Chain A
Amino acid sequence: MSSPEWNNPVVKWVDDRLPVFSLMHHSTAGYPTPRNLSYWWNFGSLALTVLIVMVVTGIFLVMSYTPHVDMAFDSVERIMRDVNYGWLIRYIHMNGASMFFIVVYIHIFRGLYYGSYKGPREILWILGVVILLLMMGTAFMGYVLPWGQMSLWGATVITNLFSAFPIVGDFIVTLLWGGFSVDNPTLNRFFSLHYLLPFVLFAVVGLHLWALHAVKSNNPLGVEMKQPEDSIPFHPYFTIKDLFGMGLFFMFFLFFVFWAPNFFGEPDNYIPANPMVTPPHIVPEWYFLPFYAILRAITFDIFIIPAKLGGVLAMFASIILLMVLPWLDRSKVKSCKFRPVYKWFFWILFLDCIFLGYLGKKPAEGSYIIMAQLATLYYFAHFLVILPLMSKIEKVVDLPESISAAVLKKSEDA
């Protein structure tokens, strides 16, 4: 698509030297988008919106936050009580973390359902997994900053995981802590990294978008755009659709901020951190629960791998596995719309993840352990056995000729 001729002499002068206007044109009015995208495609732009909200509120919070074990808790309470609209900024930031994960998890499951990870979108997908990992690290470190009981003990349990690695484990943990327990140096480095990582996130999101603009959006049919009729320009069609989605999303988001600001949080984190008192339940934030369940499911040694290392490896593997997904699923068909059998396995995986989340909240005891082990086994079996097998044996439904053909047929039927 060629650049438009700019009539305004100033715009033209600038654009000849720095083609920002051409760039904006290419990524909006000149950017072809499948005409059949559903509302599930709103969640990408929503995720970027939340990231921006998080960075902006975070910058304001930093102005009044003190990263010191003796002052962090009280400085957060000062934000809540004395800083003008501090309570609003902090509650937006706090609930924004949960919103970010809600939006991104929907975004990921959408990708899984419609096969958005398949060629030519492998790198786009892998960058997405990198974004997820960065988000998890950022969220984890952010949760430590208010220095409540859950901050301290969550950090203690999670950083201790790294000690499971042979030889380097202890070194890594000491490095993370900046000492020999979770203490002031830990808080300081987590604060520093919590400020840094969102900007790394921005950079990777930039790459994610760059890759997207190279390969273009997938769509509910999973059939690539082949002819001009298959697409419509991003602007104005998807700018307005995304804006409408944002309106709905902000109502959902702000409902929690204004009426249930601590819904996603743990009450214990309103008790100042105390290394001498262990809270009765140490649970991570809800968005880590499925992974936490996988971590605790490995209660047995696997050959030479001790159980605790096995748990840590399984937890990391459950995410890293997503990176090789494009090569595990060899089916030519992308969208589950045309995969009558695999479609059901997708939903079973979805329920399995919810179930793992439920188990992550439960104590690792008795039947819960066995259930977690089965759910973990199924999670890995889905990707390593079911998916490759389906690619071979599933009888797929005939794909439509093109997006526009399918769209026209649908509107004729209607």
Chain B
Amino acid sequence: MRKLFIAAVAALTLSASAAQAAGGAYVPELKDVNWSFEGFFGQYDQKQLRRGFQIYNEVCSACHSLRLVAYRNLSALGFTEDEIKEIAAEKSIRLPHGDAGALLNDDGEFFTREAKPSDKFVSPFPNDAAAIDANGALPPDLSLVAKSRLGGPEYLYSFLMGYMDEVPEEVAHQKGFILNEDKSFNIYFPGYYTSMPPQMMDELVEYEDGTEATAVQHAEDIVAFLNWAAEPELDERKSLGLKVMLFLLVLTAMLYALKRKIWADVKH
């Protein structure tokens, strides 16, 4: 028990010193993007979400899972039921056994079925160990990444655009900084080196809607999509919020008038 306590305190102090280190380490300010979903009235741009989905589907999904989002959720991006069926059917889901109970089919492979709209996005790897084995590190699930990083979408955008070929002097001169040739240098990543190589380059995908395929455009689109994946309720939340606020404003004004009237003759 004492050991556990010491471990916990050590974790605390370690985390504190890490914080101090991070506080001392050079991290530039996050890049600011004018998202369509910012502010009181901000809503998602459906076309942008579709472009972002295209990037996820063609690029990110090779390594990153999106396990909390279901194919049926894509209706929010304007896909029709048939389109969603098609998108889902491109992926296959491994079954625990075949109809007859056999674990493997005649070719010695796992039984599979096509994914359906009701399925969650199929993960690229069967488990974390396989994902680490293939990538050198665990590519995080992206379902909540826009909420689980300080700075949210701004951080994600900065991260995606934060890769550098040369280590800037502010970082190179830091005490304890070690060059790492095996990983990629990213100025926004805690510890600077990430196992994920840079992805955002011009013409990463050819947009279905004909938008010019620049790196900046890609980064904005994929981050908008990931924000939607993390907060699919945002549009509804803000529009309901406006109605509720309007209602409360009127109600409170009437309550105030009533209060004035009731208290009119009371000296207080």
> Measuring CB to CB, which residues of chain A are less than 8 angstroms from any residue of chain B?
35-37, 74, 77, 80-81, 87-88, 91, 153, 156-157, 160, 163-164, 169-170, 173-174, 180-181, 232, 236-237, 240-241, 243-244, 247-248, 250-251, 254-255, 257-259, 261-262, 267-271, 278-282, 308, 363-365, 407-408, 410-411
Contacts and interface: CB of A to CB of B under 8 A. Distances in A.
B5 A237 contact: no
A262 B234 CA distance: 12
B11 A241 contact: no
A242 to B, nearest CB: 10
A237 B249 contact: no
A282 B248 contact: no
A180 to B, nearest CB: 8
Interface of B: 1-2, 4-5, 8-9, 11-20, 22-23, 40, 68, 73, 143-144, 147-150, 152, 190, 230, 232-233, 237-238, 240-242, 244-245, 248-249, 251-252, 255-256, 258-259, 262-263, 266-268
Contacts of B73: 81
Contacts of B244: 254, 258
Main secondary structure on A side of the interface with B: helix
Given A81-B68, A163-B1, 19 more contacts: A74-B68, A77-B144, A160-B8, A163-B5, A169-B1, A170-B1, A174-B1, A237-B262, A240-B259, A241-B263, A244-B255, A247-B252, A250-B248, A254-B245, A258-B238, A267-B148, A278-B11, A308-B5, A365-B17
A364 B14 contact: no
27 contacts: A88-B237, A163-B1, A169-B1, A170-B2, A232-B266, A237-B263, A240-B258, A240-B259, A247-B251, A250-B248, A251-B245, A251-B248, A254-B244, A258-B242, A258-B244, A262-B147, A267-B149, A267-B150, A267-B152, A268-B148, A278-B11, A308-B5, A363-B17, A364-B12, A364-B13, A365-B20, A411-B267
Contacts of A281: 15-16, 18-19
B14 A258 contact: no
A161 to B, nearest CB: 9
B239 to A, nearest CB: 9
Contact of B15 (A240, A243, A257, A282): A282
